[in-house]
């Protein structure tokens, strides 16, 4: 958005299989009663509910009180952007970002990193650069910031708002785009190398409507990245709604179609202008759309109180200026509490998670699979986790008895059916002790019975 906006060790078991008849990504024990906060309510279905935080408001007791009570994920509003973290070339500044990170971590909250590369809110020195000098500076920035926060970030918005509005469905003309069409891919590869444990997301606005050219352009990019092994794990939907840009009727379809590519989807900057029952109804629609998609892993609202919003006049958030809960808050809480604990409701996919191997010991690894299955096809995402020592390479064996692989990413496979050996590619073979990397494949038929096993190579 604009300057004024924001711009575990594995359980030692031979095999554990958790299958939800209707799409599940995380199993949690049923709640004894309805949760009373947004974060706790979201956790019942394995999701998060977060908010954007400004370091300058951390001295406001009402603001911090709501933050600590209600939310379990935090995004720095402006403090991790390029101009804030590298105000002078090669001289990095993390003070305000660290205030937010430390506040979140002391309260047991996770952090979304926003954002590593963006055409806007660049420091002045970067705005005057072009060509290979700009490309190298951007990649160094991504590497340095992601390395500094390695192990502390749940997911990074690696690239922000790189597609143009309008009917072209193409890239935005920017100084970064003019360094070459592969600049987004290069940024993602640099981020993966710098922080292998963080999820890597592409984030944009006006991509909520499946029929829009911009949405289709982003979809084609993600599809291409997945087919070629570019390390992308998630897509962020900013979802800023008002009367001129309402919640589209196909919003859930958009989320599901991206998820079907084998990426998580996250609602990253939600705000909905309005008031009363109308606003509450729209918040309910968006929340239930996320709950209906197995790989919609969480929702972040862009601010806490209406007066904290970048568009405060539209009163778009869940708390009023005095910190009181609005009708929209109640609608979101009720929707989150309505989700079947540990499951999500979707009529199109079944998700199975399988973990294999005992404690791998030094030099070993384990593998687990998350399977999204629908009539006639599937997407399998496999996580490789190093044991008590780092990996310099790995191989995963799967068994595909009733399906055929039609595409894969982040690994090389020995075939398309039966017993398939998957090996790392150049950027994800080195996995630190206890850390993980992911690869995946899509196919026709059934992906049931994959039973992945991992060996170090």
Distance CA 359, CA 361 (A): 6
The percent of residues in the chain predicted with pLDDT above 70, rounded, is 86
DSSP class of residue 403? E
For the cut 90, the answer to whether the pLDDT of residue 30 exceeds it is no
**For residue 28, is pLDDT > 80?**
no
Mean of pLDDT over the chain? 88
CA distance 158 to 170: 19
Q: How far apart are CA 442 and CA 200, in angstroms?
A: 19
Residue 13 binned pLDDT confidence (cut-offs 50, 70, 90): very low
Question: How confident is residue 371, by pLDDT bands cut at 50, 70 and 90?
Answer: confident
Catalytic residue among 77, 161, 185, 438: 161
The per-residue pLDDT for 109 is 95
185: annotated active-site residue = no
Contacts of 224 (CB under 8 A, 6+ apart): 230
pLDDT surpassing 70 at residue 6: no
pLDDT of residue 20: 33
Confidence of residue 299 (pLDDT cuts 50, 70, 90): very high
Catalytic hit among 77, 269, 273, 438 = 269
Over 50: is that where the pLDDT of 9 sits? no
142-166 pLDDT per residue, tens: 999 999 999 999 999 999 999 999 9
Q: In terms of pLDDT, which residue wins out, 30 or 130?
A: 130
Burial tier of 9 (Cβ tally within 10 Å: 0-12, 13-18, 19+) = exposed
Whether 425 has a pLDDT exceeding 90, the answer reads no
Q: Tell me the C-alpha distance between 290 and 297, whole Å.
A: 8
Residue 384: strand, helix, or coil: strand
What is the rounded end-to-end Cα distance, in angstroms, of the chain? 44
Q: Tokens 């929707």 belong to which residue?
A: 335
State both tokens at 260: 């079907």
Mean pLDDT of 274-294: 97
d(CA 315, CA 275): 7
Per residue in 78-110, pLDDT (tens digit) is 999 999 999 999 999 999 999 999 999 999 999
Give the sheet arrangement for strand 365-374, strand by strand.
15-20, 350-356, 365-374, 377-386, 436-445, 403-409
Distances in Å between the Cα of 234 and the Cα atoms of 98, 162, 268, 340 are 24, 15, 11, 24
pLDDT level of residue 2 (50, 70, 90 thresholds): very low
Say whether pLDDT at 4 is over 70: no
DSSP-derived secondary structure letter, 45: T
Kindly tell me if the per-residue pLDDT of 372 is higher than 90: no
Which of 256, 238, 254 is CA-nearest to residue 372?
A: 256
Which parts of 263-369 fold into alpha helices (H)? Answer: 276-291, 327-338
pLDDT tens profile 191-232: 999 999 999 999 999 999 999 999 999 999 999 999 999 999
Q: Is the dihedral of CA 37, 42, 48, 49 positive or negative?
A: negative
Beta bridge partners of 428: none
Give the bridge partners for 112, in sequence order. Answer: 75, 155
Q: How confident is the model at residue 18 (pLDDT cuts 50, 70, 90)?
A: very low
Please state, in angstroms and rounded to a whole number, the distance separating the CA atoms of residues 372 and 2: 36
Q: What 3-state DSSP class applies to 292?
A: coil
């Amino acid at each position: 958005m604009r300057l004024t906006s924001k711009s575990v060790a594995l359980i030692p078991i031979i095999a554990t299989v958790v299958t939800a008849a209707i799409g599940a990504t995380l199993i949690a024990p049923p709640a004894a009663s309805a949760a009373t906060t947004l974060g706790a309510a979201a956790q019942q279905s394995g999701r998060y509910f977060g908010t954007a935080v400004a370091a300058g408001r951390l001295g406001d007791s009402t603001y911090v009180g709501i933050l600590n009570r209600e939310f379990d994920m935090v995004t720095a509003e402006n403090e991790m952007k390029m101009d804030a973290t590298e105000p002078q070339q090669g001289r990095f500044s993390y003070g305000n970002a660290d205030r937010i990170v430390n506040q979140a971590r002391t309260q047991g909250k996770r952090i979304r990193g926003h954002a590593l590369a963006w055409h806007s809110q660049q420091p002045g020195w970067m705005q005057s650069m072009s060509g290979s000098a700009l490309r190298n500076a951007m990649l160094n920035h991504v590497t340095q910031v992601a390395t500094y926060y390695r192990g502390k970030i749940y997911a990074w918005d690696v690239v922000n708002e790189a597609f143009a509005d309008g009917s072209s469905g193409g890239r935005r003309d920017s100084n970064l785009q003019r360094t070459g069409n592969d600049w987004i891919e290069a940024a993602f590869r640099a981020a993966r190398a710098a922080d292998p444990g963080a999820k890597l997301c592409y984030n944009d606005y006006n991509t909520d409507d499946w029929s829009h050219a911009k949405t289709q352009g982003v979809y084609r990019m993600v599809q291409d990245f997945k087919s070629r092994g570019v390390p992308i794990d998630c897509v962020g939907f900013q979802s800023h709604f008002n009367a001129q840009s309402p919640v589209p009727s196909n919003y859930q379809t958009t989320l599901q179609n991206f998820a079907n590519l084998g990426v998580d989807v996250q609602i990253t900057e939600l705000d909905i202008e309005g008031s009363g029952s109308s606003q509450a109804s729209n918040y309910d629609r968006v929340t239930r759309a996320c709950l209906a998609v197995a790989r919609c892993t969480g929702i972040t609202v862009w601010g806490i109180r209406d007066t904290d919003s970048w568009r405060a006049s539209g009163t778009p958030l869940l708390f009023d200026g005095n910190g009181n809960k609005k009708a929209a808050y109640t609608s979101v809480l009720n929707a989150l509490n309505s989700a079947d604990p540990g499951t999500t409701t979707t009529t199109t996919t079944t998700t199975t998670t399988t973990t294999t191997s005992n404690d791998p010991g030094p030099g070993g690894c384990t593998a687990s699979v998350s399977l999204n299955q629908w009539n006639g096809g599937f997407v399998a995402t496999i996580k490789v986790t190093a044991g008590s020592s780092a990996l310099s390479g790995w191989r995963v064996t799967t068994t595909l008895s009733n399906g055929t692989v039609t595409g894969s990413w982040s690994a090389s496979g020995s075939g398309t059916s039966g017993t398939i050996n998957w090996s790392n590619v150049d950027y994800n073979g080195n996995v630190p002790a206890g850390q993980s990397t992911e690869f995946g494949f899509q196919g026709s038929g059934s992906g049931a019975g994959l039973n992945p096993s991992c060996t170090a190579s």
